[in-house]
Every structure is written in C-alpha cells, then in structure tokens.
A and B are shown apart, each in its own frame.
Chain A
Amino acid sequence: MNSLSFTHLGYLVIAAQWTVLLSLMAFVGGAVLGLALALARVSKIVLLRNAAAVYIQVLQGTPLLVLLFLSYFGMSIAGLNVPPLLAAALSLTLYTGAFLGEIWRGCIQSVTPTQWEAAECLGLSRFAQYFYVVLPQASRIAIPPTVGFMVQVVKNTSLASVIGFLELSRAGQIVNNSTFQPFTVYFIIALMYFALCYPLSLASRYFERKLHVGK
C-alpha cells in the first residue's frame, strides 16, 4: 500500500486538466447547438420549431449516463472506434445544447415584442433584427443562467469516467485503488471540483447583480 504522495497529487492535477478540456469542448459544442436550437424554437417555421422542441424534450428526459453509453457503444457498433474523449464530448454537447437551447429561448422571448416592432419599422431584415437588436439584449439577460449552467457541465463531466475517460473522478478512483485512502482522496477530488466551479458561481452571481443594477 502506497501512501498518498505528490506524485498522486500531480496525477490528479493532470486529470483535472482533462476535466477542464472536456468541459470546454462540451461548452463550445453545446453553445453552438444551443444557439441553433434557441433560434429554431422561436422560428416562424412550425416544422423547425417542433423539431427543436422534440429534441429538447427527449434530451432533457434522458440521463446523461445513458447518453454517454449510447454514444460510446453506439459508435463502436457503427464501426467507428472513437476515443472516449470524443464520445464524452459528443454526449455532453448534445446534453448541454438541449439545456442551453431552452434557457436561451427564454432569454430571446423576454426581449419585449416592441423591440422587434421598432426594428421591423426601421426596415431591418429578420437577420438584422436578431443580430443588432434582439440577440445583444437577450445575451445580457442570458449571462447569469448560462454561467450557472456551466457549473453543472463541469460537475457532469465526472460521468465520463464510466466510459473509461481519464478525468478527475476516474483519476481519483485509480489513486484510491493504490492508496486505499478513499476519504482523503475523494475529499481532495471534491476540493478540486469546488475550485473549478466556485469561480463560475461567483461570476454568475456577479453578472446577475450587474444585470439588476443596470435595470
């Protein structure tokens, strides 16, 4: 039995970097998908609106763990031998996109209809109405809940350990298997997740205050 050493800690820090990378991939992918879904949800085209609604409902009703298994094993059945990082990033993207799509739809719809009307009356195209008038106002409203949701994404990357992706939680298991000090190891893991998430929570609250002061 090895006692907990700096080597172990270094190992955990490296694994935490993979957690950060996976979070970032999920976040960037989820943001692109989420924006597309949010725009589809407020589209004037019924088919687009319904398709996005169905996607969001289905994804929000599926456990992330199941999504991870589906994308990892599903793709290998399809003959694609994808590394765990990609499978994890894909399922987290699909998952994050569904939630951000719904959050952002609400933000877009909270911009008062008279703003659309004013833009319309100035002859702005639909695209210009979004780009110059509605999205800038919606994104201001969107910042606090979006940053808040990032915290969820960071914590949910821990599930990627089940498909063998070596991130912080998986590294914790491995270190524990060699040291047999589960409480100490997982306490350190918890602290490291906290160190990643707390700044985001603070940022979320900061933006929320700023938003209310601005009003």
Chain B
Amino acid sequence: MLENNALGPPGSSRVSEQPQEIVNSPTELIVSVKNLVKRFGALQVLNGVSLEIKRGQLVAIVGRSGSGKSTLLRCMNALESIEGGELQVCGHDVGSPSRLARRELRSDVGIVFQSYNLFPHLTVERNITLALTAVKKHSRAEAGVIASRVLALVGLQDKAASYPEQLSGGQSQRVAIARSLALSPQLMLFDEVTSALDPELTGEVLKVMEDLSRQGMTMVLVTHEMAFARRLADVVIFMHQGRVWEMGPPEALFNHPQTAEFKQFISSGL
C-alpha cells in the first residue's frame, strides 16, 4: 500500500509518452460540477459552472482576477460552501458536507496554496508527518519513511530537519506539495502556487508539478503560467465573470479563441 503513496491511486498506470490514450478512454470522472453557484453576500462569484475532470488529467484554469477561478478550486475542497448546483469530487458529494464528510474528502484531495502555509514552528519533516500520525494514525517511523519518499520526489531530502524560515520560496512550495502528496490524494489542487515566486524559483516548482502529472496524478491548477498550461494541460478552462467561458485542449483553445474576452486575455496576459 505504501508503494502507491504519492504516485497516484492504484491502477493509474498512465505513461508519459501517451497520455491521450488514457484520457480519451472511458475513464472514471473524478470531479463533476453541475451549475455550481457561489455567492459572497450579494456578490455572485460563480454563476452556474459546469465541468468534468477525468482521472489522470491535468486541468489548468485561467482567467483574470475576480473571475472566480480560485473560488471554484476552493469549492472543490469544501473550503467554501456552495449555494447551488452539484459538486462531486472523488466520489464525495461536496454539496453541504458534514464535518466528518469534509475530513474524508480531504484525505482524497490535496491542495497547495500561493502562500505555502507551512507550519513555521515545525521542521520540514514534521510538517509532512503531522497529518500522517495525527489523522492517518501511522507510527512516527512509518510516517518518517513516507516523508523521506515524498521529499525525494520534490528533490529536498536534505531539508528534512530544516525549519520553513530556512527555505527559499521555491523550496517552501515544494515542501507544501510534498506535504499534500504524503497523504496519497487522488486529486491535487494548486491555487496560483507560483504567483509569489521569482521567475527562477518558479521553474523548480513547475518541474515538480510536471513530474507529478507525468506520474498520473490528477491535477487542477489555477495559474498564470500560460506556457506551462499550454504545454502540459489536457484541458484549459478560461473563466470569466464566474462562468466557464471557453474550455478545451490547449492548442485548439489558444490558437482559435472563440470569444472576444479570451482573445483579449491571451493578447494581454502572455
């Protein structure tokens, strides 16, 4: 069982050279969103979003700030309540989950934030093992083994004993990714994870994400890294005014934008 940790769920044997085969075969849906509505007070942030994400896909959500893309991501992890529509994630109904249901959801869904949100008072290793011992009831020794494996995945084995303040932004973000991976999620959410980083640090984080995707992890990222989205995403979603404005494979989408809004976004955003 440990072997499958952090390498995607058992049975996801996608090979990097031929991702399309798996994506196009009748694979199971891991996220299903129907007419999702989310309000903050009088402000309607999501106006009926519908989309589906299959196992193994890399989905990039792009759009201007205020388009609702981060909110959509947070809804998928039940960090935000929803006011209407249906939301199924990894077999969990995320409509109005109870506290217990939310915790079950979170063992299947990992999320990484722009601001890393590492625990500053704990070492890198303890940041990773905390949930393993406190939630998954692994022994400290087992958790330590998992921690060193996920740290190896993000190339930071030598930082296990460091504290977050001793890390660069890029290293912090890689630790945050490792911390999520340690719980062997089926789905990883990335909320503008490179937006706070210098260009040279962005590369090392994107590299980790690319490896992860090649290993078959299902990933949804809200991003401003258009080149990354274009090169690696299976599906790109352009959000505008709380709606899915355009959606499709990146080449088709970027080469033939259908709407004036997306055209304008591409020309200004790149």
A122 touches B135 (CB 8 A): yes
Docked pose: A128 CA to B103 CA in angstroms: 12
Docked pose: A114 CA to B121 CA in angstroms: 14
Q: How many A-B residue pairs have CB under 8 A?
A: 54
CB neighbours (8 Å) of A115 from chain B are 117, 119
Nearest chain B residue, comparing its CB with the CB of A215: B165
- Chain B: minimal CB distance from A188 (Å): 44
Known: A128-B134, A128-B135. A123 touches B106 (CB 8 A): yes
A136 at interface, CB cutoff 8 A: yes
Nearest chain A residue, comparing its CB with the CB of B116: A118
CB neighbours (8 Å) of B107 from chain A are 123
Q: Which of A119, A121, A125, A140 contacts B121 (CB 8 A)?
A: A140
Q: Which of B161-214 contact A (CB under 8 A)?
A: 179-180, 183
- Chain B: minimal CB distance from A129 (Å): 9
B71 at interface, CB cutoff 8 A: no
B113 touches A122 (CB 8 A): no
B120 at interface, CB cutoff 8 A: yes
Q: Which of A114, A123, A126, A137 contacts B135 (CB 8 A)?
A: A123
Q: Which of A114, A119, A124, A137 contacts B115 (CB 8 A)?
A: A114
A118 touches B135 (CB 8 A): no
Q: Which of A104-161 contact B (CB under 8 A)?
A: 114-115, 117-126, 128, 132-133, 136-137, 140
A122 touches B183 (CB 8 A): yes
A124 touches B117 (CB 8 A): no
- Chain B: minimal CB distance from A67 (Å): 37
CB neighbours (8 Å) of A124 from chain B are 130-131, 134-135
- Chain B: minimal CB distance from A201 (Å): 26
Q: Which of B120-156 contact A (CB under 8 A)?
A: 120-121, 130-131, 134-135
Give a binary string over B32-58; 1 marks a CB under 8 Å from any A CB, 0 the rest. Answer: 000000000000000000000000000
Nearest chain B residue, comparing its CB with the CB of A133: B119
Docked pose: A120 CA to B113 CA in angstroms: 13
Known: A124-B131, A128-B135, A132-B134. A118 touches B119 (CB 8 A): yes
Known: A124-B135, A132-B130. A118 touches B117 (CB 8 A): yes
B79 touches A121 (CB 8 A): yes
CB neighbours (8 Å) of A122 from chain B are 106, 130-131, 135, 179-180, 183
Binding site for B on A (CB under 8 A): 114-115, 117-126, 128, 132-133, 136-137, 140
Known contacts A118-B118, A122-B130, A123-B106, then 20 further A-B pairs from the complex at CB < 8 Å, ordered by chain A residue: A115-B119, A117-B79, A118-B113, A121-B77, A121-B79, A122-B106, A122-B180, A122-B183, A123-B103, A123-B107, A123-B135, A124-B131, A125-B135, A126-B99, A128-B134, A132-B130, A133-B130, A137-B120, A137-B121, A140-B121
| 25 contacting pairs across A/B (C-beta < 8 A) | A114-B117, A117-B113, A117-B117, A118-B118, A119-B119, A121-B106, A121-B110, A121-B111, A122-B106, A122-B130, A122-B131, A122-B180, A123-B103, A123-B107, A123-B131, A124-B130, A124-B135, A125-B135, A128-B134, A128-B135, A132-B119, A132-B130, A133-B119, A136-B121, A140-B121
